[in-house]
């Protein structure tokens, strides 16, 4: 769990006759990460054929997925399906064509009926404004000599419309008077068609079209349309039912077709990335060292003539091209995802998941310490994890549960339960509950000082982990003179002793660790200067160890820039160490603020334990869990991303993405 899985490089020479069998063995079990080796090939005729096959399998897979969507089935694979060989296109394409034709015939009818329904509903909406008009307007609309315009016009434009129509003979009817949008009907000669239409557009008339297939008054046509709409909805329901039945009848067949098409597409894509020689193929990739024997056995079973060469890769040094496979643990998955948002460990780097699994709930609970609220958050987290409640937070459910459990523990230590502390517990809850350790509201300065102490311990651990990573990777330059190296760590200890132990040592905020360091009989001031010089000229010393040019640039200008940069490095390091250490004071500050927010809720609730009092307390607790809980979560993430992980964790690892044809569980 502390490091990514050790990886071995795998190089294969595969006879052409065993190509598909070997590809199936490589793809079937999720233990082989393929590297594109097509550039190793000397033949160029074969890959084009496989490229066409891969494209055909991909198209076929999409067609099957479309059928699943059309018949309303979830995309599933057959239970107990095995890892089979690549299926020939000619074998499954006719089956897909047949099922697709059946589904398409029904779906086309359904689509046409939906269009009819949409048209009827649109026509009904058009008629609703004049449904109470007792005139057969449809007859006049079909006149060979008269041009008819029916529509809604803004009342403010009525006078403009009437003025525009004065030039031509016309008949103007107001079918429905309305203060805002009256319904009007204009009749005129066909020869004046353009004048009538321009007048209507200038008045912003919205035309109402009547269905030509229906006759009668608007009321009669509306009744006919409603009848047609009901009939259309019935036909749509029947078509949808037939599609669902068709899907059920073809379910097993579709699942098998999808499974075959997917497997064939994945294997064809993999073969495209093989290097092709005259009669053999070259395959390169990575597999976990623990799985080398298993993979070798499967490959030899697939081909007797295959050549296999495996090379275990050491974790020392830099291996940017080695894929990183992390240990999988369902209980640590949310922590792993949290770390993953910052970065993926490189191959030789320490995986910080276990450290964060301890520090994240610890810091969260210290800032949000309340027994009742913590237990409630823990229960909500468990429900979210099991998709019983708050399903959208399923991936964070366990993290909430861990943080809630930690908050409950600190709530017990602080003597806080649902915001009730001290005498309020006995007064309102009628039982005795005292802080097992300390009350943040009554010992504010002590809590803040202790928070800085916790930060010093965590930062020191981060420095040590950074040095450990540099030692494992044999990066001696950064181990000695890096920003989290030995000299920087010793400078930090002297900095703590002088600044926090000496300068602030007499104050109540002085961290006890710094005071204890300062009490040791060591010449901290001279040591601070010495290690400060190493930090200041860290780039110079790193270049010396690595054998690079000591000072970039030549002449007085280059040396001047070197001095300026060195001074800025020292200033930046000192400010960073001070801010990183003081940043942990927020842990104590939020613990105090949590108690203060609870007191504010009690001030709003009043003193009498009425129904209103308990409703206010309940709503206040919901607010605290939701609002302050989110803020504390953000602050805990900030401490890890800016103060902790940056000291030893660089990330940048390439994700292990194995070929997978695993049968469904």
Helix axis angle for 251-272 and 46-71, nearest 10°, is 150
Which DSSP string do the residues of 44-66 spell out, in sequence order? -SHHHHHHHHHHHHHHHHHHHHH
Residue-wise pLDDT tens digits, 593-642? 999 999 899 999 988 889 999 999 999 999 999 999 999 999 999 999 99
| Dist. CA 311–CA 156, nearest whole Å | 85
For range 20-28, the mean pLDDT: 88
Beta strands in 514-659, from DSSP E residues, in sequence order: 654-655
| Dist. CA 571–CA 491, nearest whole Å | 13
Residue-wise pLDDT tens digits, 276-309? 887 899 999 999 999 999 999 999 999 999 999 9
- pLDDT, residue 82, reads 64
> Residue 184, SS3?
strand
Question: Are 326 and 5 in contact, with CB atoms under 8 Å apart?
Answer: yes
Is residue 77 very low, low, confident or very high in pLDDT (cuts 50, 70, 90)? confident
- pLDDT, residue 86, reads 79
| Dist. CA 70–CA 107, nearest whole Å | 8
* Residue 538 tokens, joined: 């860290």
For range 570-587, the mean pLDDT: 92
Backbone angles phi, psi at 251, to 5 degrees: -55, -55
Is the pLDDT reported for residue 43 higher than 70? Answer: no
Residue-wise pLDDT tens digits, 114-153? 998 988 887 787 677 666 666 665 565 566 778 888 888 8
- pLDDT, residue 316, reads 73
- pLDDT, residue 78, reads 82
- pLDDT, residue 136, reads 67
- pLDDT, residue 61, reads 92
Is the pLDDT reported for residue 255 higher than 80? Answer: yes
> For residues 209-224, b (16+ Cβ closer than 10 Å) or e, as one string?
ebbeebeebbeebbeb
Give the count of beta carbons closer than 10 Å to the beta carbon of residue 570. Answer: 17
Is the pLDDT reported for residue 664 higher than 60? Answer: no
| Dist. CA 622–CA 511, nearest whole Å | 35
- pLDDT, residue 552, reads 67
pTM, rounded to two decimals: 0.75
Residue-wise pLDDT tens digits, 527-569? 999 999 999 998 888 888 887 777 766 666 677 888 888 889 8
Residue-wise pLDDT tens digits, 312-328? 988 776 677 899 998 88
Is residue 46 very low, low, confident or very high in pLDDT (cuts 50, 70, 90)? very low
Q: Which residue has better confidence, 457 or 83?
A: 457
β 416-417/275-276 pair status: unpaired
Dihedral of CA 475/481/482/484: which sign?
Answer: positive
β 323-324/654-655 pair status: parallel
End-to-end CA distance of the chain: 26
- pLDDT, residue 417, reads 94
Residue-wise pLDDT tens digits, 332-349? 999 999 998 898 888 888
| DSSP structural state of residue 312 | E
Question: Are 455 and 583 in contact, with CB atoms under 8 Å apart?
Answer: yes
Q: Which residue has better confidence, 507 or 446?
A: 446
| Dist. CA 560–CA 563, nearest whole Å | 5
Report the residue count for the chain.
Answer: 665
Lowest mean pLDDT across 150-159, 203-212, 567-576: 203-212
Mean pLDDT estimate for the chain: 87
- pLDDT, residue 432, reads 87
Burial group, residue 355, by CB count within 10 angstroms (0-12, 13-18, 19+): buried
| Dist. CA 439–CA 11, nearest whole Å | 63
Q: Which residue has better confidence, 507 or 81?
A: 507
* Residue 158 tokens, joined: 């009525």
- pLDDT, residue 168, reads 87
Task: Give the CA diameter of the chain.
Answer: 115
For range 94-117, the mean pLDDT: 93
Q: Which residue has better confidence, 196 or 83?
A: 196
Domains in the chain, CATH or no CATH each: 1-37+273-329+655-665 (3.30.70.240), 47-115+224-265 (no CATH), 135-216 (3.30.70.100), 353-439+587-648 (no CATH), 445-583 (no CATH)
For range 184-209, the mean pLDDT: 86
- pLDDT, residue 307, reads 93
Helix, strand, coil percentages, rounded to 5, for the chain: 65, 10, 30
Element (H, E) at 11: strand 7-15
Is the pLDDT reported for residue 654 higher than 70? Answer: yes
Burial group, residue 312, by CB count within 10 angstroms (0-12, 13-18, 19+): exposed
| Dist. CA 560–CA 420, nearest whole Å | 62
Is the pLDDT reported for residue 506 higher than 80? Answer: no
- pLDDT, residue 555, reads 61
* Residue 130 tokens, joined: 């004049």
* Residue 124 tokens, joined: 């009904």
> Residue 517, SS3?
helix
Beta strands in 265-336, from DSSP E residues, in sequence order: 275-276, 280-288, 307-312, 323-324
Lowest mean pLDDT across 35-49, 87-101, 182-196: 35-49
Is residue 45 very low, low, confident or very high in pLDDT (cuts 50, 70, 90)? very low
Backbone angles phi, psi at 278, to 5 degrees: -70, -50
**What contacts 80, CB < 8 A, 6 or more positions away?**
663
């Amino acid at each position: 769990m502390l490091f990514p899985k050790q990886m071995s490089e795998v190089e294969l020479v595969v006879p052409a006759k065993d190509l598909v069998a070997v590809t199936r063995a490589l793809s079937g079990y999720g233990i082989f990460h393929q590297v594109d080796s097509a550039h190793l090939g000397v033949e160029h005729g074969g890959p084009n054929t496989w490229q066409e096959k891969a494209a055909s399998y991909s198209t076929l897979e999409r067609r099957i997925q479309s059928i699943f969507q059309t018949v309303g089935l979830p995309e599933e694979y057959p239970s107990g399906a095995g890892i089979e060989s690549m299926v020939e296109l000619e074998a499954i394409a006719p089956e897909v064509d047949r099922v697709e034709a059946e589904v398409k015939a029904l779906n086309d009818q359904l689509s046409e009926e939906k269009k009819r329904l949409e048209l009827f509903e649109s026509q009904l909406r058009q008629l609703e404004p004049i449904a109470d008009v007792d005139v057969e307007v449809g007859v006049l609309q079909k006149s060979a000599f008269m041009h008819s315009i029916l529509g809604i016009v803004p009342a403010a434009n009525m006078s403009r419309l009437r003025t525009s129509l004065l030039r031509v003979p016309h008949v103007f009817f107001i079918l429905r008077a309305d203060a805002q949008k009256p319904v009007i009907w204009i009749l005129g000669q066909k020869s004046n068609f353009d004048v009538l239409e321009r007048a209507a557009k200038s008045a912003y008339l919205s035309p109402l079209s009547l269905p030509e297939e229906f006759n009668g008054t608007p009321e009669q046509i509306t009744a006919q349309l409603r009848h047609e709409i009901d009939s259309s909805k019935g036909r749509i329901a029947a078509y949808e039912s037939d599609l669902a039945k068709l899907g059920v009848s073809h379910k097993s067949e579709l699942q098998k077709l999808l499974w075959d098409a997917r497997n064939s597409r994945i294997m064809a894509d993999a073969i495209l990335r093989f290097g092709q020689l005259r009669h053999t193929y070259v395959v390169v990739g990575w597999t976990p060292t623990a799985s080398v024997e298993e993979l070798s056995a499967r490959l030899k079973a697939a081909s007797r003539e295959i050549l296999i060469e495996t090379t275990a890769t050491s974790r020392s040094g830099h291996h940017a091209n080695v894929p990183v496979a992390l240990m999988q643990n369902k209980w640590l998955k949310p922590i792993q995802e949290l770390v993953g948002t910052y970065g993926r460990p490189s191959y030789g780097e320490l995986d910080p998941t276990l450290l964060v699994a301890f520090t994240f709930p610890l810091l969260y609970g210290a800032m949000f310490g309340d027994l009742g609220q913590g237990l409630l958050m823990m229960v909500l987290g468990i429900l979210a994890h099991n998709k019983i409640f708050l399903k959208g937070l399923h991936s964070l459910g366990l993290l909430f549960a861990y943080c809630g459990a930690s908050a409950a523990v600190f709530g017990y230590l602080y003597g806080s339960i649902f915001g009730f502390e001290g005498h309020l517990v006995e007064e309102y809850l009628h039982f005795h509950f005292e802080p097992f350790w300390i009350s943040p509201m009554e010992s504010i300065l002590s809590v803040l000082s202790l928070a800085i102490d916790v930060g010093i311990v965590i930062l020191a651990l981060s420095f040590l982990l950074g040095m450990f990573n540099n030692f494992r990777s044999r990066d001696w330059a950064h181990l000695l003179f890096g920003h989290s190296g030995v000299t920087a760590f010793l400078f930090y200890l002297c900095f703590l002793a002088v600044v926090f132990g000496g300068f602030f040592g007499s104050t109540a905020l002085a961290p006890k660790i710094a005071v204890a360091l300062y009490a040791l009989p060591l010449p901290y001031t001279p040591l601070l200067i010495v290690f400060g010089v190493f930090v200041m000229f860290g780039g110079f010393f790193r270049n010396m160890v690595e054998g690079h040019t000591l000072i970039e640039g030549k002449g007085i200008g280059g040396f001047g820039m070197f001095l300026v940069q060195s001074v800025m490095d020292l200033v930046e390091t000192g400010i960073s160490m001070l801010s990183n250490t003081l940043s942990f004071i927020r842990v104590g500050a939020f613990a105090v603020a949590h108690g203060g927010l609870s007191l504010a809720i009690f001030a709003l609730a009043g003193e009498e334990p009425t129904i209103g009092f308990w409703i206010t307390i309940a709503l206040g607790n919901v607010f605290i869990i939701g609002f302050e809980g989110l803020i504390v979560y953000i602050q805990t993430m900030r401490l890890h991303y800016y103060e902790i992980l940056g000291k030893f964790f660089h990330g940048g690892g390439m994700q292990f993405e194995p070929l997978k044809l695993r049968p469904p569980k």
